[in-house]
């Protein structure tokens, strides 16, 4: 605690707030009231949505700002071509002048928090300093904040400094100093830029540490699948932002599976920390304590569990406000409200325009999820049978395939591509390679990151999870999705688990092992075997173009790219010739 107090005093001297308030997760009503007074929050209908609030962000502050995110290490080469780099001294000097006096007349909130269960040797402690009540309230949902956490604080903690400042986009910086265990973020209040326990600590700083300590910090959901015999097996899945991780993590089995007795348990929807357990298998924990999910599209059909989770004690950001009911609404729900205010805070009259921002979010406590896994708090986590990677691809990637072995799986994951979404600023729908869905989140050179994955595979040996790739987003000639997705994705998971058990058949293809149409259970689905054939089709012309794009991407890593991955690429090329 001495170290924490010393650091907080230094930051107080720099930011010059009017007062300093320590947060321990209790008495939050006082801060909510202040936020209601300032207009930062709107209290929603307490009967229909108890404990729920609406927040509207600044118009320029609605997504992660990847171009304003920096990794600051002594050597530029250590961050690699997928990150923005600045020398630590140079960046500290820019930031110090921006933070100088930034909290004059404001309150400085100090939030000790824990990523992972308190007391677990795998958890990480942090302290976030912020001048935003919205950040305080979100952090108290997304992370563990309690008296116990404050008591546990010692010399080792991640120093997280945040200010919304003037929300000036030209002076926005989200900076990571992995050599100092520090994160400084200014001029944004958006989740991924401002809730520093999430992307900044649990992925960028944690991935850096994980490389040194032989574990993995990944952009993955964790899901338990209980079969009719009552056995639960766990999988992790990495998809880029806004590609359906929350929906998969909370899926409801199709009717025929429910009748048989299948159940799903949600351990996490966004981040997994994976370690080799005493038994030699890979074990995963979710370091978060809540969900920061995309709202539009969430409904009774796509994700009833998320809908239940956000029915109380939730903060909504940038959705539509229903003036008559004092509730919220978003695209994907029925019955748009008659009298409404859009996410920008204007009367929603032009109904051709979306009312909720496409990246509008909910922040809800994990315990609200009706299918939260009983293992959620287990400090050891859950053993992982399969790791699934996937993206949003209209063509090219088939519904599912299995990597030939772990190293080939690392190759598959390093080359996965996806169409960009509204979760980051910039154009939507542009295909980019997003290795392991970690391109925006890996805190060091991704060439070294691939080598680290290969090393982890070697360390785990034959107890390593099997690796798969999925694509729920393939479209037909009319641009319609062919695969129904959502709950029906369990049909694909069933094949994946059967492959892990060695009980499902597969055929070899140039890209890996694939099911034949008869291997995927489509009973009760409005889909034909011809549709499945299309979904599983591997178009060699598209793949040849893919190989060229992969080559160009790999070249950007120079000699940091492991030779093994060049070999895998050349093997793939020869399988197509």
Active site residues: 243
Given Mn ion, ligand OXD, none, residue 276, with its beta carbon under 5 to 8 Å by kind, binds: none
Query: For ligand OXD, which is the closer residue by CB, 241 or 318?
Result: 241
> Shortest CA distance to 287 belongs to which of 193, 416, 200?
200
Interaction mask 289-308, ligand OXD, x per CB under 6 A: ---x----------------
Residue nearest to ligand OXD (CB): 241
Q: In this chain, which of 191, 337, 365, 487 binds ligand OXD, going by CB under 6 A?
A: 191
Given Mn ion, ligand OXD, none, residue 191, with its beta carbon under 5 to 8 Å by kind, binds: ligand OXD
CB 80 within 8 A of CB 447: yes
> Shortest CA distance to 288 belongs to which of 215, 207, 201?
201
**In the complex, minimum distance from the CB of residue 100 to Mn ion, in angstroms, rounded to a whole number:** 32
Q: In this chain, which of 128, 270, 375, 519 binds ligand OXD, going by CB under 6 A?
A: 270
**In the complex, minimum distance from the CB of residue 125 to ligand OXD, in angstroms, rounded to a whole number:** 22
Q: What distance in Å separates the CA atoms of residue 470 and residue 437, rounded to the nearest whole number?
A: 13
**In the complex, minimum distance from the CB of residue 68 to Mn ion, in angstroms, rounded to a whole number:** 18
Size, binding site for ligand OXD by CB under 6 A: 7
The secondary structure of 507-543 as a DSSP string is EEETTEEE--GGGS--TT-S--HHHHHHHT---HHHH
Crossing angle between the packed helical segments 133-142 and 28-38, to the nearest 10 degrees? 140
Q: In this chain, which of 56, 64, 144, 159 binds ligand OXD, going by CB under 6 A?
A: 64
Q: In this chain, which of 366, 372, 387, 423 binds ligand OXD, going by CB under 6 A?
A: 423
> Shortest CA distance to 281 belongs to which of 384, 375, 379?
384
Given Mn ion, ligand OXD, none, residue 192, with its beta carbon under 5 to 8 Å by kind, binds: ligand OXD
Asked if 116 interacts with ligand OXD (CB under 6 A), we say no
Given ligand OXD, Mn ion, none, residue 449, with its beta carbon under 5 to 8 Å by kind, binds: none
**In the complex, minimum distance from the CB of residue 241 to Mn ion, in angstroms, rounded to a whole number:** 5
Query: For ligand OXD, which is the closer residue by CB, 423 or 464?
Result: 423
Please name the helix (run of DSSP H) or strand (run of DSSP E) that holds residue 33, with its range, or none. Answer: helix 28-38
Environment class of 3 (CB within 10 Å of its CB; exposed 0-12, middle 13-18, buried 19+): middle
Asked if 222 interacts with ligand OXD (CB under 6 A), we say no
Which residues, listed in sequence order, are joined to residue 160 by a DSSP beta bridge?
128, 183
Which residues of the chain form contacts with Mn ion (CB under 5 A)? 241, 270
Environment class of 559 (CB within 10 Å of its CB; exposed 0-12, middle 13-18, buried 19+): exposed
- Give the CA distances from residue 415 to residues 438, 543, 552, in Å, rounded to whole numbers and listed in that order: 11, 12, 11
Given Mn ion, ligand OXD, none, residue 399, with its beta carbon under 5 to 8 Å by kind, binds: none
CB 211 within 8 A of CB 455: no
Given Mn ion, ligand OXD, none, residue 106, with its beta carbon under 5 to 8 Å by kind, binds: none
Region for residue 479 given its phi and psi (left: phi exceeds 0; alpha: psi -120 to 50; beta: otherwise): left
For 47, the 3-state DSSP assignment is: coil
Asked if 192 interacts with ligand OXD (CB under 6 A), we say yes
Q: In this chain, which of 73, 143, 150, 241 binds ligand OXD, going by CB under 6 A?
A: 241
CB 218 within 8 A of CB 202: no
Name the residues that contact ligand OXD, by CB under 6 A. Answer: 64, 191-192, 241, 270, 292, 423
């Amino acid at each position: 605690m001495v170290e924490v107090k010393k650091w907080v005093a230094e930051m107080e001297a720099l930011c010059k707030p009017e007062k300093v308030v320590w947060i321990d997760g209790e008495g939050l009503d006082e801060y909510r009231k202040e936020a209601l007074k300032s207009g930062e929050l709107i209290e929603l209908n307490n009967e229909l949505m108890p404990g729920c609030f609406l927040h509207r962000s600044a118009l320029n502050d609605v997504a992660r700002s990847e171009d304003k995110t920096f990794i600051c290490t002594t050597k530029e080469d250590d961050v690699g071509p997928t990150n923005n780099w600045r020398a630590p001294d140079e960046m500290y000097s820019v930031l110090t002048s921006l933070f100088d006096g930034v909290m004059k007349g404001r309150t400085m909130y100090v939030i000790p928090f824990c990523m992972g269960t308190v007391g677990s040797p795998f958890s990480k402690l942090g302290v976030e300093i912020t001048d935003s009540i919205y950040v305080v309230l979100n952090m108290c949902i997304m992370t563990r904040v309690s008296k116990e956490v404050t008591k546990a604080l010692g010399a080792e903690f991640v120093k997280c400094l945040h200010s919304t400042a003037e929300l000036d986009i030209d002076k926005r910086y989200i900076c990571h100093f992995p050599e100092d265990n520090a994160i400084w973020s200014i001029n944004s209040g958006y989740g991924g830029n401002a809730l520093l326990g999430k992307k900044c600590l649990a992925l960028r700083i944690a991935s850096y540490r994980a490389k040194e300590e032989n574990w993995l910090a990944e952009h993955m959901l964790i899901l338990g699948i209980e079969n009719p015999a009552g056995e639960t097996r766990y999988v992790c899945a990495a998809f880029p932002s806004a590609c359906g991780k929350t929906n998969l993590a909370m899926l409801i089995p199709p009717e025929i599976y429910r009748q048989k007795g299948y159940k799903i348990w949600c351990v996490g929807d966004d981040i997994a920390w994976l370690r080799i357990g005493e038994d030699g298998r890979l074990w995963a924990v979710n370091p978060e304590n809540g969900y920061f999910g995309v709202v539009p599209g969430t409904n009774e059909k796509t994700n009833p569990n998320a809908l239940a989770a956000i029915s109380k004690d939730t903060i909504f950001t940038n959705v539509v406000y229903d003036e008559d009911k004092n509730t919220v609404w978003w695209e994907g729900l029925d019955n748009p409200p008659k009298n409404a205010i859009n996410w920008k805070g204007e009367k929603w009259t032009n109904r051709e325009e979306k009312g909720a921002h496409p990246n509008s979010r909910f922040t809800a406590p994990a315990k609200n999820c009706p299918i939260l896994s009983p293992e959620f708090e287990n400090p050891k986590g859950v053993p992982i049978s399969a790791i699934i990677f996937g993206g949003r691809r209209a063509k090219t990637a088939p519904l599912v395939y299995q990597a030939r072995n772990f190293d080939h799986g690392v190759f598959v994951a390093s080359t996965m591509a996806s169409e960009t979404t509204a979760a980051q600023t910039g154009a939507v729908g542009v295909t980019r390679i997003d290795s392991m869905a970690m391109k925006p989140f890996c805190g060091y050179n991704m060439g070294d990151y691939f080598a680290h994955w290969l090393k982890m595979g070697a360390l785990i040996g034959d107890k390593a999870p099997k690796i798969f790739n999925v694509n729920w987003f393939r479209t037909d000639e009319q641009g319609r999705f062919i695969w129904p997705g959502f709950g029906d994705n369990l049909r694909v998971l069933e094949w994946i688990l059967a492959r892990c058990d060695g009980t499902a058949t597969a055929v070899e293809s140039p890209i890996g092992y694939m099911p034949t149409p008869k291997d995927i259970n489509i009973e009760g689905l409005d889909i034909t075997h011809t549709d499945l054939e299309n979904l599983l089709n591997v178009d060699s012309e598209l793949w040849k173009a893919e190989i060229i794009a992969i080559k160009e991407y790999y070249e950007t890593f120079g000699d940091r790219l492991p030779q093994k991955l060049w070999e895998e690429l050349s093997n793939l090329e020869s399988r197509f010739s």
